[in-house]
């Protein structure tokens, strides 16, 4: 033994004859990893902790008569552990023999085949023969557990990882173990479909093929897949994910292992499952040019020259102020940079990435990390729920509240979550000030929409030490686009000003990159009116969106899996976007389109790719914008809280939902079932007033627009006088409402019994 004094929090023990030193409290199963000895586990999972159910992790600890489970036995000084000897082998092989007694062994048709812990451990520790002389029990197979997952009860080894994931991590508590003994089955507690934003994770932690994704069932074998790691770009969290492609089709995505600083090892169902659109037959395959009211397919050369000609003649006739471009939040950093670079080189300064409701992205100098969010003492959520806008980040919030004891405070001008009273900024400030001074790590999570609220918060929070802010962008690369300069400088027009100018006939050419303001802008009717009046509207997108349908020129774009670059998530991490897929032949990345356009402008000096990378890296490294919250940079009249109008009825607020499916997810039949119902949420007081209960169907009349068949959701925490409608659902009239609309309930169809919605 060495002469260095032993640290009190380190424990010395011997595992398989090797002396090891690990922190006190370490479980044998973890300690064994230090000697590169893998102890088999089914129920244990580092994120879920020990459960002691499967009993496969048996080890021998000298001095203890019975075999011990490595997953729940902490190390102690002087302990002598054997992870491999005859006694251990007998125990483990018994467990495997038992697990196989009723296991269907339908490996040939099981999706898990080739990456199954039952196959692997049976090979490593099993007996290889069986004494079973009786028929296996039969249990339900192919159980439709919910919109995403199919369950095979016969393959289940009852490790309860799925149940514990739902309890500990997602905290949705839908999955339970029902019945008992050998008859036990996994099911939802209520019998209703298993459905929330994180269900797909259970297919990954299930050690066997009991839980499989509907989108991947019977599609492939793991060895036929080509795997690429990339960053999910479906929201601003930036989860790392593996894309598995077979013969040019992305078949599934998987999370990266365990402790990823961003995703924490999880994915949300949108990030996981919304990949079918890449192979959709509805993708635009050819540039389209509108002539005499009809789209005609044209070649790229023609597209570029028409586009360049329109810009040139507009600048010549009405000056560069008559031209604008919007986009960047769905592009890579490199693309966003080049977008503003090219247009600014042409003298065009009307540039903005903000096409939806979000008015602000980068949270400024005080932005925090996800690890800090998890350790916050208080979390203030302002505006829309991060569960819908930044799902995997919301798991950190759930962890902070349920496991680390953080206080959750919600400020919601509109919708409240059940059981959370919506309060105003002053009350929040009081609550924060009342916290003991030692416990004042405050995390402020804001949707970046209501600038008036942002300004109030900025004022209130200015004195909070240890403040960390998180703006849940509605576009994945909102922060990157902002950093890359896709914001108007002094004197130029932002998105809303551009739309106003358009309505007045002052905007001639507008180029949109990966944005769909008709669906996502907070004020749909005036947005539509603006776009209708633009003589030359260019839209780059994968699909014929509501906005693309109004364009003069539609350009088929590549999706994120089809190109490379970087993206910046909401905490400011610059993350790689790696190409895993070949794009359809005629699609170009926005970058390639901009290059094509640039060819028509001899006066523009194009940077070399090295120069470009250097500039992008330089901007990324720049300290984030310093004026943070509610800043004066957003000069134009931002839509704010609807001023209450004196007439009767309810003030309408339209809120987003991650699965609304307005974007790419509208083009995948398989996940269409994830789409939320068109909900009309109201507080308990209003529900009583109108005699409504959850599950009732109502029609609403809003400023002359009839919204049919909305499903009532009574949310006890919501303020009176407000009805919150699910926005972003394709083809729903709610998308076309104007700010400040008021709603009257015109028809009610009662549900038979109140329904949990």
Provide the binding-site residues for other proteins, judged by CB under 8 A: 50-56, 58, 65-67, 72, 90-91, 94-95, 98-99, 101-102, 131-134, 137, 157-158, 160, 176-177, 179-184
> Contact at 8 Å (CB) between 607 and 616?
no
Q: Of these partners, ligand FES, other proteins, ligand SF4, none, which one is at the site of residue 137 (CB under 5 to 8 Å by kind)?
A: other proteins
Segment interacting with ligand SF4, rule: CB under 6 A, options 24-32, 227-235, 280-288, 357-365? 227-235
Segment interacting with ligand SF4, rule: CB under 6 A, options 154-162, 296-304, 312-320, 694-702? 154-162
DSSP string, 309-361: HHHHHHHHHH-GGGEEEEE-TTS-HHHHHHHHHHHHHTT--EEE---SS----
> Contact at 8 Å (CB) between 690 and 733?
no
How many CB atoms neighbour CB 165 within 10 A? 24
Say how far apart CA 403 and CA 362 lie, in whole Å: 29
Cβ proximity to other proteins: between 54 and 425 the closer is 54
User: For residue 728, what are the contacts with CB-CB under 8 A and spacing of at least 6?
Assistant: 519, 520, 656, 657, 660, 661, 662, 735
Kindly give the interhelix angle for 609-621 and 333-345, rounded to the nearest 10 degrees: 110
Distance of closest approach, residue 96 Cβ to ligand FES, in angstroms:
12
Asked if residue 54 binds ligand FES (CB under 6 A), the reply is yes
Asked if residue 42 binds ligand FES (CB under 6 A), the reply is yes
> Contact at 8 Å (CB) between 212 and 152?
yes
Distance of closest approach, residue 585 Cβ to ligand SF4, in angstroms:
28
Please list every residue from 246 through 305 that binds ligand SF4, using CB under 6 A.
Answer: 263, 267-268, 270-271
Please list every residue from 190 through 209 that binds ligand SF4, using CB under 6 A.
Answer: 206-208
Count of alpha carbons within 13 angstroms of residue 466, beta-carbon side:
16
How many residues are given for the chain? 757
Please give the biggest Cα pair distance in the chain.
Answer: 92
Distance of closest approach, residue 238 Cβ to ligand SF4, in angstroms:
5
Distance of closest approach, residue 133 Cβ to other proteins, in angstroms:
4
Tell me which residue of 436, 442, 285, 328 sits closest to 377, measured CA to CA.
442
Cβ proximity to other proteins: between 27 and 588 the closer is 27
Say how far apart CA 496 and CA 355 lie, in whole Å: 8
Asked if residue 41 binds ligand SF4 (CB under 6 A), the reply is no
Q: Of these partners, ligand FES, other proteins, ligand SF4, none, which one is at the site of residue 133 (CB under 5 to 8 Å by kind)?
A: other proteins
Asked if residue 471 binds ligand SF4 (CB under 6 A), the reply is no
> Contact at 8 Å (CB) between 499 and 365?
no
Cβ proximity to ligand SF4: between 156 and 449 the closer is 156
Interface characters, 158-187, with ligand SF4 (x: CB under 6 A): xxxxx-----------------------x-
CA distances in angstroms from 299 to 306, 553, 590, listed in the order given = 11, 12, 16
> Contact at 8 Å (CB) between 141 and 248?
no
Choice from 20, 43, 379, 457 touching ligand FES (CB under 6 A): 43
Cβ proximity to ligand FES: between 125 and 338 the closer is 125
Q: Of these partners, other proteins, ligand SF4, ligand FES, none, which one is at the site of residue 44 (CB under 5 to 8 Å by kind)?
A: ligand FES
CA distances in angstroms from 724 to 312, 520, 654, listed in the order given = 45, 16, 6
Cβ proximity to ligand SF4: between 206 and 451 the closer is 206
Residue whose Cβ sits closest to ligand SF4: 271
Distance of closest approach, residue 221 Cβ to ligand SF4, in angstroms:
20
Residues at the site binding ligand FES, with contacts judged by CB under 6 A: 41-44, 52-57, 69, 71
Residues at the site binding ligand SF4, with contacts judged by CB under 6 A: 156-162, 186, 206-208, 210-211, 232, 234-235, 237-239, 263, 267-268, 270-271, 390-392
């Amino acid at each position: 033994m060495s002469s260095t004094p032993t640290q009190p929090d380190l424990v010395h023990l011997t595992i398989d004859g090797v002396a090891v030193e690990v922190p006190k409290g370490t479980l044998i199963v973890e300690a064994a990893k230090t000697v590169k000895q893998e102890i088999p586990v089914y129920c244990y999972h580092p994120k879920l902790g020990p459960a002691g159910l499967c009993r496969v992790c048996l080890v021998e600890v000298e001095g203890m008569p019975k075999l011990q489970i490595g997953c729940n036995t902490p190390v102690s000084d002087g302990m002598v552990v054997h992870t491999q000897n005859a006694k251990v082998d007998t125990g483990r092989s018994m467990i495997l023999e038992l697990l196989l007694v009723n296991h269907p062994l339908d490996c040939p048709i099981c999706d898990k085949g080739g990456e199954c812990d039952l196959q692997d451990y049976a090979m490593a520790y099993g007996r290889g023969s069986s004494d079973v002389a009786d028929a296996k029990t039969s249990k339900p197979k192919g159980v439709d557990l919910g919109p995403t997952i199919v369950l095979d009860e016969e393959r289940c080894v009852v490790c309860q990882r799925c149940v514990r994931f739902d309890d500990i991590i997602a905290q949705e508590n839908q999955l339970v173990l029902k019945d008992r003994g050998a008859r036990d089955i996994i099911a939802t507690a209520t019998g209703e479909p298993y459905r929330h934003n994180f269900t797909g994770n259970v297919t990954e932690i299930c050690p066997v093929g009991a839980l499989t994704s509907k989108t991947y069932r019977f599609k492939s074998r793991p060895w036929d897949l080509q795997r690429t790691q990339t960053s999910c770009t479906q929201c601003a969290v930036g989860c790392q994910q593996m894309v598995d492609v077979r013969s040019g089709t992305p078949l599934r995505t998987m999370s990266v292992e365990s402790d990823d600083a961003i995703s924490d090892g999880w994915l949300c169902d949108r990030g996981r499952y919304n990949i079918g659109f890449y192979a959709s037959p509805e993708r635009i395959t050819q540039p389209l040019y509108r002539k005499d009211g009809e789209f005609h397919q044209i070649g790229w050369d023609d597209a570029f020259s028409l586009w360049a000609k329109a810009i040139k003649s507009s600048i010549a006739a009405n000056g560069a102020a008559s031209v604008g471009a919007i986009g960047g939040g769905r592009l890579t950093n490199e693309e966003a940079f080049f977008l503003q670079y090219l247009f600014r080189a042409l003298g065009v300064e009307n540039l903005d990435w903000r096409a939806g409701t979000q008015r602000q992205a980068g949270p400024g100098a005080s932005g925090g990390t996800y690890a800090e969010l998890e350790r916050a003492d208080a979390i203030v959520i302002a505006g829309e729920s991060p569960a819908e806008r930044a799902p995997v980040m919301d798991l950190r919030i759930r962890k902070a509240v349920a496991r680390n004891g953080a206080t959750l405070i919600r400020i919601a001008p509109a919708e409240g979550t059940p059981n959370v009273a919506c309060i105003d900024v002053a009350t929040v400030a009081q609550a924060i000030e009342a916290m003991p001074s030692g416990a004042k790590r405050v995390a402020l999570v804001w949707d970046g929409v209501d600038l008036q609220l942002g300004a109030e918060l900025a004022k209130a929070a200015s004195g909070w030490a240890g403040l960390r802010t998180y703006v849940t962008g509605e576009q994945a690369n909102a922060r990157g686009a902002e950093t890359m300069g896709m914001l108007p400088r002094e004197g130029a027009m932002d998105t809303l000003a551009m739309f106003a100018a358009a309505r007045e006939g002052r905007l001639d050419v507008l180029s949109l990159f990966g944005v769909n303001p008709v669906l996502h802008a907070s004020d749909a009717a005036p947005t539509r009116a603006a776009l209708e009046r633009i003589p030359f509207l260019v839209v780059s997108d994968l699909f014929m969106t509501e906005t693309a349908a109004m364009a003069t020129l539609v350009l088929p774009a590549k999706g994120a899996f089809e190109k490379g670059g970087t993206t910046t998530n909401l905490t400011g991490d610059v993350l790689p976007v790696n190409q895993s897929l070949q794009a359809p032949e005629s699609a170009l990345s926005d970058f390639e389109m901009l290059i094509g356009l640039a060819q028509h402008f001899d006066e523009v000096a194009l940077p070399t790719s090295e120069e470009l990378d250097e500039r992008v890296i330089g901007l990324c490294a720049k300290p984030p914008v310093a004026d943070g919250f509610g800043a004066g940079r957003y000069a134009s009249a931002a839509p704010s809280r609807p001023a209450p109008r004196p007439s009767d009825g309810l003030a309408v607020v339209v809120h987003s939902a991650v699965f609304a499916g307005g974007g790419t997810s509208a083009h995948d039949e398989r996940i269409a079932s994830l789409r939320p119902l068109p909900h009309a949420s109201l507080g308990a007081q209003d529900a009583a007033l109108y005699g409504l209960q959850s599950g009732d169907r109502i029609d609403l009349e809003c400023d002359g627009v009839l919204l049919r068949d909305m499903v009532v959701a009574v949310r006890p925490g919501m303020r009176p006088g407000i009805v919150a409608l699910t926005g972003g659902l394709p083809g729903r009239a709610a998308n076309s409402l104007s700010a400040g609309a008021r709603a009257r309930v015109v028809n009610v169809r009662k549900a038979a019994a109140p329904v949990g919605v």
